[in-house]
Chain A
Amino acid sequence: MKNIIEFKDVSKYFGSLKVLDGLNLEVGAGEKLALIGPSGSGKTTILRILMTLETIESGLITVEGKPLWHEKVNETLVPASEAHLQKMRQIIGMVFQQFNLFPHLTALSNIEQPQILVRKVTKEEAREKAANLMDLVGLEDKKDHYPHQLSGGQQQRVAIARALAMDPKIMLFDEVTSALDPELVDEVLSVLKKIATTTDTTMLTVTHEMNFAREFADRILFFDKGQIVEQGLPEGIFTNPKEPRTRGFLKKYITGLT
């Protein structure tokens, strides 16, 4: 499997706090990854760096073989220009914990507008795709609703559709059910599972839903203190974690683990 994402010795600080500590990570094209671990362990930061919302202090990240935060000028790597970042962002889409839908636009327009502005497709094309995606996430009857007229779960499904409309090769999901009431979590997770099984999009998910992670992911990464402590197949990590830190963390979520 060809790697679509590579982190080489990547470090990131917030002031004097080291949030990523010499991270190395390879993600295969089409792979579904679940990132788990205590809060503050750096897993959300990885997504935000990939989405170019946070810079890195050292190391190199490549996406589809091209450096993300750098570009080549006369054979030397220099910090990326905004133009380069814009090119790279075409490959990547993100769904946020707080949905971040545009409140002044209807659900359908939220999905249409980015296609029209960024991908320069026609209004009709954008509308058709938006309608199809609203079907996919099970909201075909909510097209003309504004975000504030939708439940959290419905808003999040619109946000997923909006990200999908841009045809990203990599999708990032940052704790997408953490802000939801418990009864609304499943409707969002089942949409994620549907996308995972029906597309070859590479997916990175930061989540605290362990049952979901187990079903959804090809590989689980356990993070602590800015490093990958343990990684592997869901079966192995959830039934027989090797590292004491992984075991300690998972005990809170999985009954029967000792």
Chain B
Amino acid sequence: MEWDWNVVASVTPSLLNGLIVTVQATIVGAVLAYVLGLVIAILKMSGNKAVAFITYWSSEFIRRTPLLVQLYFLFYVLPDFGIFLSPFVAGVIGLGLHFSTYTSEVYRAGIENVPKGQWEAARSLNYSAYHTWRFVILPQAIPPMFPPLANYLITMFKETPLLSAITVVELFNAANIYSNSHYKYLEPMTLVGLFFLLVSIPAAMIALKIENKYKPLN
């Protein structure tokens, strides 16, 4: 098998388009995961037992089932109920929903890792509930959340090829379409790997920086 630079030249434009879709899906999916995760975390910690219970088990259900199945459900099953989503929208909803169950755990752990003594100190100084959250708990809980949230962003980026299953033409699918019609796999798939590396290595380095910056104080 010979490496063919002509294949590289002809496939690269569509791969770049695919990469754009991949990055878009990652970013939109991540924003969704971060916001939805916060909502889930708050509902899980809710004083209302029924709300907390339902949220906990729904989120466990989503977290313990494959993303691929969820994507199929959103794209191929929902139309049976009259809900039609474009491949991209279904894809980012699936990605965001799936990873929101992970980010919600990051938020929950961040808050629960603030020592009990901090709550008691705030109470003994007569802080209101708002002041306790705003000036004592969140300033300590949020910085340690950044590293795991950054890592989930990278994980989501690497999971985007799953969106090809619901016809989103992201980076992997762009290569796949080319390969299937030209019977050329070596160059397109090598380039896919290379493109993923080109994005994820710098991203990992940034994540590491974030991790060092937000090391706990004590």
Residues of B121-143 whose CB lies within 8 A of A: 121, 123-128, 131, 135-136, 139-140
Which of B117, B126, B139, B217 is in CB contact (< 8 Å) with A148? B217
Count A-B pairs with CB separation below 8 Å.
61
**CB of A90 within 8 Å of the partner chain:** yes
Residues of A84-136 whose CB lies within 8 A of B: 86, 89-90, 92-94, 96, 98, 100-104, 113-114, 117-118
**CB of A62 within 8 Å of the partner chain:** no
Which of B120, B124, B218 is in CB contact (< 8 Å) with A163? B124
**CB of B86 within 8 Å of the partner chain:** no
Residues of B91-133 whose CB lies within 8 A of A: 115, 117-118, 120-121, 123-128, 131
CB–CB A162/B125 < 8 A = yes
Residues of chain A lying within 8 A (CB to CB) of residue B126: 86, 89-90, 114, 118, 166
CB–CB B140/A117 < 8 A = no
CB–CB B124/A103 < 8 A = no
Which of B120, B125, B131, B217 is in CB contact (< 8 Å) with A103? B217
Q: A100-B118, A102-B118, A117-B135 are in contact. Are A94 and B124 (CB under 8 A)?
A: yes
Q: How far is the CB of B206 from chain A (nearest CB, A)?
A: 23
Q: How far is the CB of B142 from chain A (nearest CB, A)?
A: 10
Per the CB 8 Å criterion, the residue count for chain B at the interface is 18
Q: Given the complex of chains A and B, what is the CA–CA distance between A104 and B218 in angstroms?
A: 10
**CB of A51 within 8 Å of the partner chain:** yes
CB–CB A117/B123 < 8 A = no
Which of A114, A147, A148 is in CB contact (< 8 Å) with B125? A114
Q: How far is the CB of B215 from chain A (nearest CB, A)?
A: 11
Residues of chain A lying within 8 A (CB to CB) of residue B135: 102, 113, 117
**CB of A53 within 8 Å of the partner chain:** yes
Q: How far is the CB of A151 from chain B (nearest CB, A)?
A: 13
Residues of chain A lying within 8 A (CB to CB) of residue B121: 96, 100-102
Residues of chain B lying within 8 A (CB to CB) of residue A104: 139-140, 217
Q: Given the complex of chains A and B, what is the CA–CA distance between A64 and B174 in angstroms?
A: 77
CB–CB B218/A117 < 8 A = no
Residues of chain A lying within 8 A (CB to CB) of residue B123: 51-53, 89
CB–CB A148/B131 < 8 A = no
**CB of A212 within 8 Å of the partner chain:** no
Q: How far is the CB of A203 from chain B (nearest CB, A)?
A: 15
Q: Given the complex of chains A and B, what is the CA–CA distance between A78 and B136 in angstroms?
A: 31
CB–CB A118/B140 < 8 A = no
Residues of chain B lying within 8 A (CB to CB) of residue A162: 125
Residue in B118, B120, B125, B131 whose Cβ sees the most chain A Cβ within 10 Å: B125
Q: Which residue of A lies closest to B120 (CB)?
A: A53
Q: Mark A45-63, 1 if CB is under 8 A from B, else 0.
A: 0000001110000000000
Q: Which residue of B lies closest to A89 (CB)?
A: B126
List 21 A–B pairs whose Cβ atoms lie within 8 Å, in order of A's numbering. Answer: A51-B124, A52-B123, A53-B120, A53-B124, A89-B124, A89-B126, A93-B124, A93-B125, A96-B117, A96-B124, A100-B115, A101-B121, A102-B135, A113-B135, A114-B125, A114-B126, A114-B127, A117-B127, A117-B131, A117-B135, A118-B127
Known: A103-B217, A117-B135, A146-B217. 9 other contacts (CB 8 A): A89-B124, A96-B121, A100-B115, A102-B118, A104-B139, A113-B135, A118-B131, A148-B217, A166-B125
